[in-house]
Chain A
């Protein structure tokens, strides 16, 4: 049996309200990840018992920014610092900001561009060159 998964596509401006609703409902934040497409696609995953839901926001590759959810889920600081360092995404309101020193990779923002995007001819994001 494959457990049901629900994905809610929302605008970045709705993110904090939606996350606050999950917090009130006693959902656990299990992961945040970004995917580089022609935009940055960000997935926030929550679980409560057997329920498993995702909230998805899309933000542009140029000057990417999305509000931090560390006000609701403080543990999200690890995911947000990781995405800042690997994708170059800014998180205004981040409560524990390591200012680019969380993942010290030799290539800055290594995940900010994607081979799939380059092959499709879409603009590059960030500073990495594959």
Chain B
């Protein structure tokens, strides 16, 4: 029997923009156990809700993460609005959905670039991020921010976007979508991409379900689920079909994300065409008193926001269960039995966001 060795993976590693530590117990080149530990960037943001006014906390919620920041702010607002029985104006719902889909597309493109970079495909990495730049330009034009949008607030959105700007942005994004379809062909057909991803990191449908996987990690294992089908924001008016792949490997998870970028580009065109006129803000009255679990679909998967109000300006509890946290048990399962050289790639295939997971 081979001797067992413990190899530390992280907190600093070329494939990790954020710190996580995993102790890899290996026999020869095979991983037999993976033991994670968090806490390097634990900021206790959930705890801040006890000291911050519930309106101000929107800023904190949005800073849970720098990639999917907007949907964190939107999810928090949605949970508080439900507790306070605030009905959003339709235009505000559409604008929120517009930014949520931009957020999804740029997050997936960021991930696709990082994935290409992880297996040395530098050109593909740069092409992905070039298209992402167009999306960030649109975000900047419509919100004023590129990382933190600062667009959601309790009762609606912080700023309106005029019809001409929306149409101009839609045209830019249509060009970006065409460029992306060219790029998607490389991911779909290139020998080196397939060689690196196909058959690697298998996660069966049953294991994904049993271990609580969410998002592309779950849909890449053949489970058709997408929280947008619940119809929050303007999604109830849009046609959403969950993107599902059944190969259960890293390539399947990759293709789910790439198809979701295409879907986001299409949804954005539909949103721009259907955004109604009207106000974008409904002033909240009083303080939140009650509780609610809001479910939204982040780029990385289903996210849960729990708020519990006590009738004062401070909430008793804000809890966010992030998709990365839910995908940790499936990741540890995938790592067991894999080759040591595949660890970095497998960690990337759940699209980890450690800031989200630690909060």
Residues of A within 8 A of B (CB): 1-3, 5, 28-31, 33, 35-37, 43, 45, 47, 50, 52, 54, 73-78, 82, 98, 101-105, 110-111, 114-116
Contacts and interface: CB of A to CB of B under 8 A. Distances in A.
B44 interface: yes
15 contacts: A1-B236, A3-B230, A50-B229, A74-B211, A75-B326, A78-B329, A98-B37, A102-B36, A103-B37, A103-B39, A103-B42, A104-B40, A111-B44, A114-B50, A115-B314
A36 B310 CA distance: 13
Top 6 A-B pairs, shortest CB-CB distance: A104-B39, A75-B212, A115-B50, A31-B321, A75-B211, A75-B329
A116 B329 contact: no
Contact of B316 (A45, A101, A110, A114): A114
Contacts of B212: 28-30, 73, 75-76, 78
A104 B314 contact: no
For chain B, give the interface size range: 35 or more
B80 to A, nearest CB: 13
Interface of B: 35-40, 42, 44, 46-47, 50-51, 82, 209-212, 214, 229-231, 236, 292-293, 295, 302, 304, 306, 308, 310, 314, 316-317, 319, 321, 325-326, 328-330, 358
Given A35-B316, A74-B329, A114-B50, A104 B293 contact: no
Contacts of B38: 102-104
Contacts of B317: 33, 35-36
- Please classify the interface of chain A as helix (H, G, I), strand (E, B), loop, or mixed, using the class held by over half of its residues: mixed
